[in-house]
Structure 1
């Protein structure tokens, strides 16, 4: 079996402990891929779901054990808690030995670029229209995930590949587009203030990789709807990937985006 090796992986919003976590895809991903560094960008464990009902199957436990085992065998693992596992933020100053807990983390790529990683719930006040709309969004999203779960079961029985109804519908809602755009801009502004070359977030379950104002903005996506992650190759390229039923599908590559951004900047200067 071929094993792909990356310099770095960024994963967020696994939501272990939630019925909608695509745990089979996650475990299958780690059977075929490994990395020198793994940065967990929040909402790894869904403590909110655990409040409402106890759901912790053996497969979720197996993934945690897998990550701990990797840490003990030389893989550097950074854990940045999100809003669904925010209680873990209380332990940021404790020494966990092989797993490093951080509120945010700056990673240096193979090409010397500084990339800030944080979950993204820090930007909620800038993104949410108001509390009432936020409440409606949460309830509607839960219902979408319920429909998504059953559609996934049906498609599996029909031997059809995974497809997210939740993502399909979300991409067609104007207010969702507005919220995503606000989140992206808030992240880019934060990266500028932090004087880094790029920023990687999770939180909004919207995979993305693009250059904006000479800042690399990236979002890991999630393992509830999209089954996506970010990778760094050994030559420093950051790539957005989707784990399909058979392989790690490349969606976007920072090298291509950088060249496109450079050409656009030159055109603006000439104009």
Structure 2
């Protein structure tokens, strides 16, 4: 008998900083996660496709499979909300566009069980992005090179039966200026959320998964960061009026690896998948 794949139902799933099209992206890990859930809403909170570092010579099948999986989820009824980030900022000119179950926005506000949630990527608060974009892009290439080196290190460690090691995370956590930047980022965003009466503020950008109440004399908010799929492999989930951080390394479910129908995916199949989504939405409109 074929193995039954029971998916977890969640109200909202949030992923960010996938960086499809770069060597650092762990697309197979993300596919494992997406195949394990059945969300009502899937919020893609920026930097999903890395247009900054896009190279047509490098876009593996596993990266295409992620795109097809998202398309399939939309055709099956999941609402897909793509919030633009800095690495996919070219999509900002399409903000406000909706095709069936897929919409592109720059920010999002949702009412969740009587509470207000504010979603955005977070790069608008990054001084290096605003004032020296070329420097930020250069840093992005350096980060990509570091992740390639890190993969080689982890391959060697796994062969020896040892735990994986994150070079970039170690560097970030050991450099005082980086720690201060992250702390300032979290505080500025949270204070602005409190000032505007948001109960939750949800972002990405800094690749640091976190869930923490931040309070000042004017009130408090729950700061949430979905992390990334380059080094942390994390997502946010909202269900039963509560948020949680999903961590692939701790929470992964072995049966959910890759759907059989996407094993041999290529560009033609991807185009066919997009066409199916469009046809499905057209039929739905005709019925209504």
TM-score (norm 2): 0.77
- Tell me the equivalent position of 2:202: 200
8 Å Cα contact 2:22/2:144 also seen in 1: no
**What CA deviation, in whole Å up to 9, does each residue of 1:21-52 have, x standing for no partner?**
0111111112222211111100000011115x
Gaps of 5+ in 1: 249-271
Say whether residues 1:18 and 2:31 are aligned partners. no
Match of 1:5 in 2: 9
Paired with 2:212 and 2:68, the residues of 1 have a C-alpha distance of 33
Q: 3-state DSSP class of the match of 1:210?
A: strand
Q: Indicate how the Cα distance of structure 1 residues 65 and 134 shifts in structure 2: closer, same or farther if over 3 A, else same.
A: closer
- Structure 2: gaps (5+ residues): 254-288
Q: Choose from 228, 241, 244 the match for 1:239.
A: 244
Partners of 1:162 and 1:245 within 8 A in 2: no
Question: Structure 1 residues 159, 129: closer, same or farther in 2, change over 3 A?
Answer: farther
CA deviation vs aligned residue, 1:196-248 (integer Å, no higher than 9, x gap)? 11111111111111000111111110000110111111x11001121117627
CA distance in 2, matches of 1:18, 1:137: 14
Partner of 1:229: 235
1:44 paired residue number = 48
Partner of 2:257: none
Q: 2:221: which partner in 1? A: 215
| Kept after mapping to 1: 8 A contact 2:125/2:185 | yes
1:117 — aligned with what? 119
Quick one: distance in 2 between partners of 1:49 and 1:133? Answer: 14
Q: Of the two structures, which has the highest relative contact order with CA contacts closer than 8 Å and spacing of 6 or more? A: 2
- Residue in 1 aligned with 2:270? none
For 1:78 and 1:220, locate their aligned partners in 2 and report how far apart those are by CA, in whole Å. Answer: 15
Instruction: Give the CA deviation at 1:125.
Output: 2.0
After superposition, what is the alpha-carbon deviation per residue over 1:161-183, rounded to whole angstroms, capped at 9, x for unaligned?
54422212311211111000111
C-alpha distance in structure 1 between counterparts of 2:99 and 2:60, whole Å: 24
Q: Which moved more, 1:189-198 or 1:38-47?
A: 189-198
User: Is contact 1:161-1:245 (8 Å) kept?
Assistant: no
Q: 1:23 to 1:162 in 2, by over 3 A?
A: farther
151-160 or 180-189, larger mean C-alpha shift: 151-160
Partner in structure 2 of residue 70 of structure 1: 73
Q: Closer, same or farther in 2 for the Cα pair 1:23/1:87, shift >3 Å?
A: same
- Provide the rounded CA distance (Å) in 2 between the counterparts of 1:98 and 1:43: 20
Residues 3/163 of structure 1: CA separation in 2 closer, same or farther (3 Å cut): farther
Number of residue equivalences: 245
